[in-house]
Amino acid sequence: MTNSNQTYRKLSGQLRLKLLKMYFKANAGHIGCSLSCIDLIIATLIIHRQADEVFLLSKGHAAAALYACLNQMGELSDEILDTFYKNGTVLPAHPAPNKIKGIPFATGSLGHGLPIGAGIAHANKLLQNDKMTYVLMSDGETNEGTSWEAGHYAVSKRLDNLIVLIDCNGLQGFGNTDKVLGLSADINKWQAIGFEVVETDGHDIEKLISIITEFKTKKNGLPKMIIADTVKGKGVTYMENKLEWHYLPMKPEQYQQALEELKQLYALETELS
């Protein structure tokens, strides 16, 4: 393992601990989907996104992962982070707009992120700047018709300044993704409509960073996509690949087990409870 990958892995573990603490204090669910996409947010929002560029968490139910990363970047204070899910908070279960600079649009009703992102990328093309737009979607979200309409729009407008990441963890609200409407987060389907697509391990942050770096240099008229193979509940054995952890909050003993497993898996010494 390279030094940089060790650094990213440590950060991944620390942010997992942070978001688990948020969920436990709030007695809230949507934990599994946050654990599956946190590495994708690190690679895009923390490492690649420039201050004047837009990152959209289209799978808004993973809001805690976004909040934890914004806090890591200094864009969200510890005091505000501590209000997650509380009455009057600016950090509700799904991201809300106009309160935090790094959250420009409300998301969570699936299928909205890619249309918004395609519009932003097109605007940047018209303005003739070099800003990138990043959209993180769920695999279940590719069931939505608006996602495919926006995909065709991005291809027709030659939006090579748009990078889409699909958190492909294989589970959605009520079942296995491939059993609900078939495999719609499929490399062949997206390539067929005109995207440049790479499929990769969604928990290898160094690899993700490398792919995005290469994508940013390619001005070939093709919108870009990473289909990221991930594990729902990544890092916590009793949550991994379990549908119920799309919804359930943690009991105290489950929280302690999750902390210990993550500390061991990511070689962390942080005391966090």
| pTM for the full predicted model | 0.94
225: β partners? 164, 197
- Every domain of the chain and the residues it spans: 3-265
Report the percentage of the chain scoring pLDDT > 90.
Answer: 84
pLDDT of 272 reads 47
Beta-strand ranges (E) seen in 12-147 are 54-57, 133-138
**pLDDT single digits (tens) 192-211:** 999 999 999 999 999 999 99
Q: Give helix 63-72 / helix 31-41 axis angle, nearest 10°.
A: 40
Which of 1-5, 94-98, 99-103, 184-188 shows the lowest per-residue confidence on average (mean pLDDT)?
1-5
122 vs 107 pLDDT, higher one: 122
DSSP string, 119-138: HHHHHHHHTT----EEEEEE
Using 50, 70 and 90 to split pLDDT, how confident is the model at 1? Answer: low
CATH number of the domain located at residue range(s) 3-265 in this protein: 3.40.50.970
Q: Residue 273: pLDDT above 50?
A: no
Which of 242, 81, 201, 40 is CA-nearest to residue 258?
A: 242
Q: Between these two residues, 271 and 102, which has the higher pLDDT value?
A: 102
- Write out pLDDT tens, residues 19-71: 999 999 999 999 999 999 999 999 999 999 999 999 999 999 999 999 999 99
Instruction: Decide: 31 and 247 in contact? Cβ < 8 Å.
Output: no
All residues at 6 or more sequence positions from 246 whose CB lies less than 8 Å from its CB, including other chains: 29, 30, 32, 33, 61, 171, 172, 173, 232
pLDDT in tens, 138-179: 999 999 999 999 999 999 999 999 999 999 998 877 777 777
